[in-house]
Homo-oligomer: A and B are copies of this chain.
Amino acid sequence: MKERGILAVVSGFSGAGKGTIMKALLERYDNYALSISATTRKPREGEQHGREYFFVGEEEFEQMIAEDRLIEYARYVDHYYGTPKDYVMSQLEAGKDVILEIEIQGALKVKEKFPETLLVFVTPPSAEELKRRLVNRGTETAEVIEARMKRACEEAEQMDRYDYLLINDEVDLCTEKLHRLIQAQHGKMTLHGEFVSRMKQELKDISE
């Protein structure tokens, strides 16, 4: 029987480099599956259904809620966002380590439902560096940058509810750290109930 995968949630300030780390992680290792969120917002240019998001209608989304087919969901600025349960569960059962890249509120809901979930918060080494990264993207207006910094300020209030902190100094190193952190979770005692039971029985049998 294949060992069940680890469920990990990765959150962090916009500009912390989560996306780059996820991409590097998936390119480097084949044991990960990145969960794809469902949303009722319209696809932006270049976005594909089933790649960036599952784009669904309002009614369909509400039906998913009613049928308990989402691990977590939230409404931001007139749109729903949520994590479909089926995909996550089937990947975990297939032995894949599943990563959800979601917001703090969603992360805490997932942890409540599945206490074994690993919550990782990604941050740049300083607020100044966060701002520098947002500015250097060159794609955001000053207003957007300001809004993101304000949002980071609010998010920081909850970051200590995460299990692990990942300071993104350098992408390669950070990717490797995240990989090792998730892999280490495979050793958690709570995941080895079957092994423990078998060992207890064998030791009884052999000592008699």
Within 8 A of B (CB), among A156-187: 156-157, 159-160, 162-167, 177, 180-181, 183-184, 187
| A144 in the interface (beta carbon within 8 A) | no
Question: B159 and A196: CB pair below 8 A?
Answer: yes
Question: B156 and A200: CB pair below 8 A?
Answer: yes
Q: Is the interface of A mostly helix, strand, loop or mixed?
A: helix
| CA gap between A164 and B163 in the complex, in Å | 16
The count of residues in chain A whose C-beta lies closer than 8 Å to any C-beta of chain B is 43
| A29 in the interface (beta carbon within 8 A) | no
Q: Shortest distance in angstroms between A149's beta carbon and chain B's nearest beta carbon? A: 5
Could you tell me which A residues sit within 8 Å of B by CB distance?
120-121, 123, 126-128, 130-131, 146, 149-150, 152-153, 156-157, 159-160, 162-167, 177, 180-181, 183-184, 187-189, 192-193, 195-196, 199-200, 202-207
